[in-house]
Amino acid sequence: MKRFQALAFAGLLCTLGAAQAQLKMPGPGTTPLPPAPAEAKKAEEQASKELAARGAAEKWLALLDAGDYGKAWDQAAKMFREKVKREQWVESLPKTRGALGVAKSRTVEVSSFKPSLPGMPAGDYVTVRFSTNFEKKSDAQEIVTLVHEDGAWRPLGYGL
């Protein structure tokens, strides 16, 4: 049994060594391979979509900050408006956000592009997570998921 454990441990060390070797930066005098043109173009397109979606999310959150919940609902994605009734949105949001007070600052923590989301049709989706400093809660996180619809990035989901 001890011999099996020793062999298993040695195998694990070899596997870890191989994985670590793959993660090491190239040494002096070696040039890393550039990404394939198609991969680089795809990454650039996704970054551009994330940037545009972040801007749309910030503008939409400014509507929430101003208490213009009806206009925020009007600008949301069709799928959002089908699932959440306008009256429900306008009545519930002041209760949720009101307890936090005024938004004092907001920064993007991370954004992520996806060509699909579970239960949703294929498309362009971006989820943006913000670190938000509210008057009564300084370490809040807001998450806005957007979909590219009718030529614009529109909020599909919002969470606090």
pLDDT digits (tens, 9 = 90+) for 110-124: 999 999 999 899 999
Surface-to-core class of residue 104, CB atoms within 10 Å of its CB (0-12 exposed, 13-18 middle, 19+ buried): exposed
Please check the confidence at residue 127 and state whether its pLDDT lies above 50. Answer: yes
What is the pLDDT at residue 63?
96
pLDDT band at 10 (very low <50, low <70, confident <90, very high): very low
What is the pLDDT at residue 30?
64
* Domains present along the chain, CATH in parentheses: 49-160 (3.10.450.100)
Surface-to-core class of residue 144, CB atoms within 10 Å of its CB (0-12 exposed, 13-18 middle, 19+ buried): buried
Please check the confidence at residue 7 and state whether its pLDDT lies above 70. Answer: no
- Average pLDDT value over all residues in the chain: 83
Give, rounded to a whole angstrom, the gap between the first and last alpha carbons of the chain: 52
Q: Which two tokens stand for residue 66?
A: 């101003």
When mean pLDDT is compared across 4-13, 65-74, 140-149, the lowest value belongs to 4-13
What is the pLDDT at residue 27?
56
Using a cut of 0.85, tell me whether the model's pTM lies above it: no
When mean pLDDT is compared across 13-27, 29-43, 67-81, 92-106, the lowest value belongs to 13-27
CA–CA gap between residue 76 and residue 71 (Å, rounded)? 9
The strand pairing partners of 108, in sequence order, are 130
111 close to 126: Cβ distance less than 8 angstroms: yes
What is the pLDDT at residue 14?
34
CA–CA gap between residue 115 and residue 47 (Å, rounded)? 13
Angle at 142 between CA 51 and CA 155, to 5 degrees: 55
pLDDT band at 39 (very low <50, low <70, confident <90, very high): confident
pLDDT band at 98 (very low <50, low <70, confident <90, very high): confident
